[in-house]
Amino acid sequence: MKKVKIILVTILLIFLNIFGLIAFLILYFRNKNKGKVIYRKK
């Protein structure tokens, strides 16, 4: 049971890290695009 729990926890942590990275990349690219749009308006 302990081994299964450890495996589940590690999988959860990995998923959280991947999700965090994807969310960060989406926000980063959105901000980049917004910056480009602002540049065009000027």
DSSP secondary structure code for residue 1 in this structure:
-
**The pair of three-digit structure tokens given for residue 4, joined into one six-digit string:** 């299964």
pTM of the entire predicted model: 0.57
Place of tokens 């901000």: 31
Place of tokens 């926890």: 9
Predicted local confidence at residue 42, as pLDDT = 59
Predicted local confidence at residue 40, as pLDDT = 64
Q: What is the pLDDT of residues 1-42, one digit of tens each?
A: 899 999 999 999 999 999 999 999 999 888 887 766 666 665
Domain ranges of the chain: 1-42
Predicted local confidence at residue 34, as pLDDT = 75
Predicted local confidence at residue 8, as pLDDT = 97
